[in-house]
Structure 1
C-alpha cells in the first residue's frame, strides 16, 4: 500500500471514530408517580429535549398473604397530554417470584397483561408497542422471572423489555441474561443508602466503572437509564435510618441545620423535613445528582459503550428537572 493510500485510510478511520464520539444520545423519561401531574415545566423539558417516549409506571406487584397482587396503581390521567409513545412499566418485587409454580407464573403473566390493557384503555393510551418490567431478580428467582417474561411476550405479542441492574451486568453468568427484546441499564442505586458507606449511594462513578468493565460483552441490546433524583438519609439517636425523598441543599438551612461535612448536616432544632418530624441531634446525609456528576457519568458511558443508545432519565418531575438546564440534559 503506497503512502497516499495509507493517509486516506488513516483519515477514514479518524473521521469514523470522530463521528461516533459526536453522536448525540436521544433522551426519554420515566414517570414514577401514582398521582399524575404534568405541569408546564415537565411539558417544556419533554418538548425541548425532543423526547419520543414516556416510560410510565402503572403499578407494582408484591406478595400479600402469600399471593402476588397489584399495589400502588396509578390514578386516572389523560395520556393524550404528550404526542408520544407511552411505554407501560410494572415494578415487581423479587420475592414475588420465590417458590412459584409454572401454573402460578402463567396466571400472573395473564393477570398482569390484563391490568396493563385495562389501564391503557381507560387512560387513552396510543398503541402499546413495548411493555417494560422492572425487577431486581436473583439467582434464586431467575428461572421463574424469566418464564414470566417469556409468557408475557407470547400472550401480549408485544416487544418486552426489562431493567438491568449493574450487578446483573457484571455477574451475568450467575444471574443469567433475561429473554427479552431489550434491556435498560440502571446506572443508579449503586449501593445501599442505609449502609455506612460515605459514597453517594445514588450514583458513585467509581462503582459504575467497576461494574461496567466488561459491559460490551453483554449479549443483549440495551439503553441507559440515569438518575435526576435526590434524597436525604436521616439518622436518629438510635442509629435508625430513614430516606426522605426530594431533598436538596436548599432544605438544609440555618438555624435548623448545621453543616458538618460536604454532604452532612446535624439538626439544631426540632422541625419538619418534607413532612417528617425530626429532633435536635439527628443527622442528615444529603445525596443528590448534580449537573457535574451527571455529566461525568454520561461522558464515561459515551466513551465506554460501543453501540448507540438512548438515555432515559429518572424521572419527569419539576422538583428534579429545575436543577438542570435543557442543555445539561441533552
Structure 2
C-alpha cells in the first residue's frame, strides 16, 4: 500500500509538471515590476542555438551561451569548446572556470589566461558587449579570479574596440557573506537561485532549490550588496545516485518516467534499483538509491516573489532561466507567464506578447 501511494504521488507530479493550461493552479503568480528583460542560458556546448523566432514568445532579448570551460591541466586549459554560435539574437559568452584552474597562478599566468580566453572567444565568434565568467571562487582563488576579471575587461575592450562589460555569476553564499568572500570587480552579477543545497548529503531533499534555504541566504545583506544583480532561476531536473550510502554521481538529463520504469519508489523523491540498470547513459549496480530533484512552476514563482521583496529595485534587471531546452522550453506556457509577471518585456517589433 505504501509503495502504491508513493507511485501515485510521483505520477501526480508528472501530470502537474505537464499541466501547461494552468501551471499555477496551486500557487499565485504575482505581477510585479521586478525585471525589464528575459533571457535563457544555453549550457550544452553542442547543437544549434535558438533564434529570435523561437524566443519571441518569451520576449527574450539575449541568451547566455557556454562557450567553453577552463580546467586545470598543465596550467589552465580550455575544455568542452562550443564551435557554432550562429543565431540572430544577442549572445553573451559564458566561460565556466573551475576552482583548481585558478590555484597558485602568478600575475603573469593570470594575464596569459586572460589573453587566451579573449583569443578563443574571438575565434568562436563574438559581436556583443558582455562576457560572463562563472566561477565559485574561494579564499584561495579570490585574488586570481578578481584579477582575471580586470585583465579580461581591459583586453577584450582593446581587442574589439568598444567597452566590454564583464559579468560574474554570484552564488547565494557569496551574497550573504560578501564581507568575507569579497566583491568581484565585475560590471554586474548574475545571482544563481539554484544549486543551493548539499548535493552529496543523504539527508538533503532537494539540492537544486528549497525555499527555506533561499530565505536563510537572502538576509538584509542582499540589499547592501554593491553590484547590480540580475537573477537566474532553475528549470532543470536530475537524479542524484548513491551507492552503498555514498554519493556516486549526478544523472543529468534523467527523465522521471525513465527512472520510474526501472526503479522502485521509496518515497515521493527517492527510488532504488532492485537490479542493475542503465540510467541517463550510466550503468548503476543493484541497490543504488536515487534522489530525484526538480524545480517546478510554484518553486520559480516563490523564488521570484522572494527576490522581488529582498533585492533593491533596478531599472535594467534581467531574469534568466537555466537552461534552455528546445523541446521543453518552447512548450512551457508557464515560463512565458513567469517572464510577463516579472515585468520583463521586449521593446522590439519582432517580439510577441
Superposition RMSD in Å: 2.1
Distance 1:270 1:152 in 2: 48
Alignment match, 2:231: 224
What is the match of residue 4 of structure 1? none
Task: Work out whether residues 246 and 320 of structure 1, in 8 Å CA contact, stay in contact via their aligned partners in 2.
Answer: no
Residues 176/78 of structure 1: CA separation in 2 closer, same or farther (3 Å cut): closer
- Residue 110 (structure 1) aligned with residue 118 (structure 2): no
CA deviations 1:129-169 (Å, max 9, x no partner) are 00111111112111111111111111112111111111111
What is residue 56 of structure 1 aligned with on the other side? 65
Q: Distance in 2 between matches of 1:307 and 1:24?
A: 7
Secondary structure at the residue paired with 1:131? strand
CA contact (8 A) 2:240 2:247 kept: no
Secondary structure, counterpart of 2:246 in structure 1? coil
Q: Secondary structure at the match of 2:115?
A: helix
Tell me how far 1:128 sits from its aligned partner: 1.9
For residues 292 and 162 of structure 1, do their structure 2 counterparts lie closer, same or farther at Cα, with a shift above 3 Å needed?
same
The farther-off stretch of 134-143 and 269-278 is 269-278
In the alignment, what sits opposite 1:29? 40
Q: The residue matched to 2:260 in structure 1 has which SS?
A: coil
1:247 aligns with 2:254: yes
Are the structure 2 counterparts of residues 324 and 226 from structure 1 closer, same or farther at C-alpha, using a change threshold of 3 Å? same
Number of residue pairs matched by the alignment: 299
Q: Which of 270, 290, 293 is residue 287 of structure 1 equivalent to?
A: 293
Change (3 A) 1:106 1:57: same
Structure 2 contact 52–89 (Cα < 8 Å) conserved: no
Where does residue 142 of structure 2 map in the other structure? 142
Alignment-derived partner of residue 155 in structure 1? 155
Q: Which digits, 9 at most, give the CA deviation of each residue in 1:263-317, with x for residues without a partner?
A: 1112234322121222332211000111111111111112222213221111111
- Structure 1 segments, 4+ long, off by >4 Å, are 42-45
Asked whether the equivalents of residues 34 and 313 of structure 2 are also in contact (C-alpha less than 8 Å), the reply is no
Matches within 5 A, 1:72-111: 72-74=80-82, 76-79=83-86, 81=87, 83-111=88-116
TM-score (norm: length of structure 1): 0.84
Map of 1:297 onto structure 2? 303
Structure 2 residue aligned with 1:312:
320
TM-score computed with the length of structure 2 as normaliser? 0.79
Q: Which residue of 2 aligns with 1:204?
A: 210
The answer as to whether partners of 1:248 and 1:286 remain within 8 angstroms in 2 is no
- Checking the alignment, whether the CA contact within 8 Å between 1:110 and 1:152 is kept in structure 2 is yes
Secondary structure, in 3 states, of the residue corresponding to 2:244? coil
CA distance in 2, matches of 1:283, 1:237: 9
Alpha-carbon distance in structure 2 between the residues aligned to 1:304 and 1:248? 34
Larger Rg: 1
1:14 alignment partner in structure 2? none
Please identify, of 270-279 and 130-139, the stretch whose mean Cα deviation from structure 2 is larger. 270-279
- Greater RCO (CA < 8 Å, at least 6 residues apart): 2
1:54-88 deviations in Å (ceiling 9; x for gaps): 111110111103x11111111x3252x3x321111
**Preserved contact between residue 209 and residue 295 of structure 2 (Cα < 8 Å):** yes
1:329/1:269 CA distance change after superposition, 3 Å = farther
Deviation at 1:178, TM superposition (A): 0.7
Residue ranges of structure 1 left out of the alignment (5+ in a row): 1-19
Write the distance in 2 (CA, Å) between the matches of 1:257 and 1:162.
39
Query: For residues 218 and 199 of structure 1, what CA distance do their matches in structure 2 show?
Result: 29
The structure-2 alpha-carbon separation of the partners of 1:262 and 1:319, relative to structure 1 and needing over 3 Å to count, comes to farther
CA distance 1:290–1:95, change in 2 (3 Å): same
Q: Relative to 1, partners in 2 of residues 1:238 and 1:209: Cα closer, same or farther, differing over 3 Å?
A: closer
